[in-house]
Structure 1
Amino acid sequence: MKVRDAMSRSVRSIKPDTKIIEVASLMCLYRFHGLPVVDDEDRLLGVIAEKDVLHSLFPKLEDLMSEGMHSVDLDREMARYSEVLDLTAEELMTKKPISVDPEMHLLRAATLMVRHTFRRLPVAEDGRLIGMLSLGDVHKAIFHANITGGLKGKATV
């Protein structure tokens, strides 16, 4: 079974100049945990996840070293969130993200996700975003294939 057989083709993506306020709105309202970032030709440029947005609020290592762990004002750090909302996706995204080819074996893609602790990966063909694959997609496809008997005699690596 290939990634193409299990991936979601309906993908919400954003552009590099999308403001974080829009990204955060999509994440909070629609429960997106991450969004692929593409150019006008749908070339995959990056991925922005909730952790990327929140990471910008974490105290800097220099502050922790100079002020000590317990003297950093975490409420002040959280109040900086409005500053983060003015940034763009390009400023916070993970550039050159790991993606999978639609012809990759489904379990090979799942192994990649587990090894990197990703719950989802972009699917790109010739550098262009064509879908997303989640661990849930993988599980569902394997479940359905086994229930309907679609995997009998087809186990190849």
Structure 2
Amino acid sequence: MQVKEIMTKSPRTVTPDTGLLEVVSLMCLYRYSGLPVMEGEKMVGFIAEKDVFHRLFPTLEDMMSDGLGAGDYSNMMDKYKDVVNLKVSDLMATDVITVSPNQHILQAATTMVRHKFRRIPVAEAGVLQGMLSLGDVHKAIFQANMAGSKTATPPVAVGM
């Protein structure tokens, strides 16, 4: 099974000039873990939740010079308001790792696991084709192996 068979074909995108407040709102409301950054038809980066969170934490240099310790987590949380006033271009990754729409889904999943990604852009010749999540891969494998199987256990309703 190929990536193009299971990917999201029209993913939500942002531009380098998009404010982070809009991006983090999308992340929180729609549970996006990351979004491709586009300039016209060209993908120029990727912004992920981890990029936002990395900005909250002090660098090793800051910790050594300021003596920040475990008790300073409240101050780190307060920095969030400063971070969301930035633009995507201030935090986005520009060395974007992608997978091909023609790759086998397990080859794409291997790339995702190796880089600790939950979501990855699907591109061909630098042109964004879609997005793939580990959930997409898992669902496809489940359906391919368990659909119509007598060994599949039906889901159990919890909390009813």
Scaled by the length of structure 2, what TM-score is found? 0.84
Cα–Cα, structure 1 residues 71 and 50, in superposed 2: closer, same or farther, change >3 Å?
closer
Q: Which residue of 1 aligns with 2:135?
A: 136
Query: What is the rounded CA distance, in whole Å, between the counterparts of 1:80 and 1:107 in structure 2?
Result: 39
User: What letter corresponds to residue 9 of structure 2 in structure 1?
Assistant: R
Relative to structure 1, is the Cα distance of residues 71 and 125 closer, same or farther in structure 2, using a 3 angstrom cutoff? Answer: closer
Q: Is the 8 A contact 2:33 2:119 kept in 1?
A: no
Deviation of the 1:146 alpha carbon: 2.7
After superposition, give the CA deviation of every residue in 1:56-90 in whole Å (9 maximum; x if it has no partner). 11112222112334277332232222221221111
> Structure 1 stretches of 5 or more lacking a match?
150-157
Partner of 1:30: 30
Amino acid at match of 2:140: A
Per the alignment, residue 152 of structure 2 pairs with none
Compared CA separation, residues 12 and 71, structure 1 to 2 (3 A): closer
Structure 1 residue aligned with 2:3: 3
Matches within 5 A, 1:138-157: 138-147=137-146
1:53 positional shift: 0.8
User: In the superposition, relative to structure 1, how do residues 140 and 71 fare at CA in structure 2: closer, same or farther (>3 Å)?
Assistant: closer
Gaps of 5+ in 2: 149-160
Given that 1:3 and 1:103 are in contact with CA atoms closer than 8 Å, whether structure 2 keeps it comes out as yes
Q: Percent identity?
A: 56
C-alpha distance in structure 2 between counterparts of 1:99 and 1:72, whole Å: 39
2:20 paired with 1:20: yes
Given that residues 64 and 72 in structure 1 are in contact (C-alpha distance below 8 angstroms), is that contact kept between their aligned partners in structure 2? no
**Superposition TM-score, scaled by structure 1 size:** 0.85
Is the Cα contact below 8 Å between 2:99 and 2:108 reproduced in 1?
A: yes
CA RMSD, Structure 1 to Structure 2 (Å) = 1.8
Cα distance change of structure 1 residues 71 and 143 upon mapping to structure 2, 3 Å threshold: closer
Q: CA deviation at 1:148?
A: 5.1
Take 2:142 and 2:93, find their aligned partners in 1: how far apart are those partners? 32
- Counterpart amino acid of residue 120 in structure 2: L
Cα deviation, residue 96, structure 1: 2.1
Q: State the alpha-carbon separation in 2 of the partners of residues 146 and 70 from structure 1.
A: 49
1:154 aligned partner: none
